[in-house]
Chains A and B, each alone.
Chain A
Amino acid sequence: MERWINKRPSRAVSGMLGLIPLIILLLLYMAGSEARLAENPADKLLPSFEQFSQAIERMAFEPSKRTGEYLFWVDTQSSLIRLGLGVGIASLLGLVVGVLTGALPVVRALFNPLLTVVSLIPPLAILPILFIVLGLGELSKVVLITIGVMPFIARDIQRRTQEIPSEQIIKAQTLGANTSQILLRIILPQIMPRLIDATRLSLGAAWLFLIAAEAIVSTDGLGYRIFLVRRYLAMDVILPYVAWITLLAFLSDWVLAKISYLCFPWDRLDGAER
Chain B
Amino acid sequence: MKRLLALVLTMVLSPSVMARDSFQICWSIYVGWMPWAYADQQGIVDKWAKKYGIEIDVVQINDYVESINQYTAGQFDACTMTNMDALTIPAAGGVDSTALIVGDYSNGNDGIVLKGTSNLADIKGQSVNLVELSVSHYLLARALETVGMSEADVQVVNTSDADMVAVYSTDDVSAVVTWNPLLSEIAAMPDSHVVYDSASTPGEIIDMLVINTETLAEYPALGKALVGAWYETMALMSGNDAAAVEARTFLGEASGTDLEGYEAQLASTQMFYTPAEALALTESKVVLETMEKVAEFSFDHGLLGDGAPDAGFIGIETPAGTFGSSANVKLRFDPTYMKMAAEGQL
List chain A positions with a Cβ less than 8 A from chain B.
27-28, 30-32, 34-36, 39-46, 54, 58, 65, 127-128, 131-132, 135-137, 215-219, 224, 227-228, 230-233
Q: Assuming A32-B9, A217-B157, is B94 touching A40 (CB within 8 A)?
A: yes
User: In the complex the two chains form, is B13's CB within 8 Å of A227's CB?
Assistant: no
Q: Assuming A43-B94, A58-B306, A131-B167, is B9 touching A219 (CB within 8 A)?
A: no
**In the bound complex, CA of A191 to CA of B68 (Å):** 51
Residues of A within 8 A of B326 (CB): none
Q: Assuming A128-B163, A136-B170, A136-B172, is B93 touching A31 (CB within 8 A)?
A: no
**In the bound complex, CA of A136 to CA of B13 (Å):** 41
User: In the complex the two chains form, is B158's CB within 8 Å of A218's CB?
Assistant: yes
Min CB distance B278 to A, Å, is 27
**In the bound complex, CA of A54 to CA of B167 (Å):** 36
Min CB distance B33 to A, Å, is 19
- Which residue of B88, B93, B160 is within 8 Å of A216 (Cβ)? B160
User: In the complex the two chains form, is A231's CB within 8 Å of B65's CB?
Assistant: yes
- Which residue of B6, B14, B94, B167 is within 8 Å of A217 (Cβ)? B167
User: In the complex the two chains form, is B155's CB within 8 Å of A219's CB?
Assistant: yes
| Number of residues on chain B facing chain A (CB within 8 A) | 44
Task: Return the chain B residue nearest A215 by Cβ.
Answer: B160
Min CB distance B159 to A, Å, is 5
10 A-B pairs closest in CB distance? A42-B94, A128-B166, A31-B5, A32-B9, A35-B10, A44-B93, A31-B6, A136-B172, A40-B94, A231-B133
Min CB distance A74 to B, Å, is 14
User: In the complex the two chains form, is A41's CB within 8 Å of B170's CB?
Assistant: no
For B146-176 the 0/1 string (1 means CB < 8 A from A) is 0000000001111110110011011111000
* B129 within 8 Å of A (CB atoms): yes
Min CB distance B173 to A, Å, is 7
User: In the complex the two chains form, is A27's CB within 8 Å of B166's CB?
Assistant: no
For B7-47 the 0/1 string (1 means CB < 8 A from A) is 10110011000000000000000000000000000000000
Most buried by B among A137, A219, A224: A219
**In the bound complex, CA of A54 to CA of B171 (Å):** 41
List chain B positions with a Cβ less than 8 A from chain A.
2, 5-7, 9-10, 13-14, 65, 68-69, 72-73, 88-89, 92-95, 129, 131-134, 155-160, 162-163, 166-167, 169-173, 302-303, 305-307
**In the bound complex, CA of A171 to CA of B238 (Å):** 86
User: In the complex the two chains form, is A218's CB within 8 Å of B94's CB?
Assistant: no
**In the bound complex, CA of A233 to CA of B303 (Å):** 10
**In the bound complex, CA of A127 to CA of B160 (Å):** 12
Q: Count A/B pairs, Cβ under 8 Å.
A: 114
User: In the complex the two chains form, is A233's CB within 8 Å of B69's CB?
Assistant: yes
User: In the complex the two chains form, is B160's CB within 8 Å of A233's CB?
Assistant: no
Known interface pairs A217-B158, A232-B89; 20 further A-B residue pairs with C-beta atoms within 8 A, sorted by A's residue number = A36-B13, A36-B14, A40-B94, A40-B95, A42-B93, A42-B94, A58-B306, A127-B166, A128-B163, A136-B170, A217-B129, A219-B157, A228-B158, A231-B131, A231-B133, A231-B134, A232-B88, A232-B92, A232-B133, A233-B69
User: In the complex the two chains form, is A34's CB within 8 Å of B160's CB?
Assistant: no
Most buried by B among A30, A34, A54, A232: A232
Residues of B within 8 A of A30 (CB): 2
**In the bound complex, CA of A268 to CA of B290 (Å):** 70
Task: Return the chain B residue nearest A37 by Cβ.
Answer: B94
Q: Assuming A36-B14, A231-B65, A232-B92, is B73 touching A216 (CB within 8 A)?
A: no
Residues of B within 8 A of A46 (CB): 13
Q: Assuming A27-B2, A35-B14, is B72 touching A217 (CB within 8 A)?
A: no
Query: Can you list 5 pairs linking A and B with CB atoms under 8 Å apart?
Result: A39-B10, A132-B169, A132-B170, A230-B65, A233-B68
Min CB distance B73 to A, Å, is 5
User: In the complex the two chains form, is A31's CB within 8 Å of B9's CB?
Assistant: yes
Min CB distance B76 to A, Å, is 14
User: In the complex the two chains form, is A34's CB within 8 Å of B95's CB?
Assistant: no
**In the bound complex, CA of A127 to CA of B173 (Å):** 16
Most buried by A among B13, B89, B134, B162: B13
User: In the complex the two chains form, is A231's CB within 8 Å of B166's CB?
Assistant: no
Min CB distance A217 to B, Å, is 5
**In the bound complex, CA of A65 to CA of B169 (Å):** 33
Min CB distance B39 to A, Å, is 28
**In the bound complex, CA of A41 to CA of B328 (Å):** 12
- Which residue of A131, A215, A224 is within 8 Å of B166 (Cβ)? A131
**In the bound complex, CA of A27 to CA of B1 (Å):** 10
Min CB distance A224 to B, Å, is 6
Residues of A within 8 A of B2 (CB): 27, 30-31
Residues of A within 8 A of B9 (CB): 28, 31-32, 35
Residues of A within 8 A of B88 (CB): 231-232
**In the bound complex, CA of A32 to CA of B4 (Å):** 11
Residues of B within 8 A of A58 (CB): 306
Task: Return the chain B residue nearest A214 by Cβ.
Answer: B158
User: In the complex the two chains form, is A219's CB within 8 Å of B158's CB?
Assistant: yes
**In the bound complex, CA of A247 to CA of B2 (Å):** 28
Task: Return the chain A residue nearest B11 by Cβ.
Answer: A35
User: In the complex the two chains form, is A131's CB within 8 Å of B157's CB?
Assistant: no
Residues of A within 8 A of B305 (CB): 42
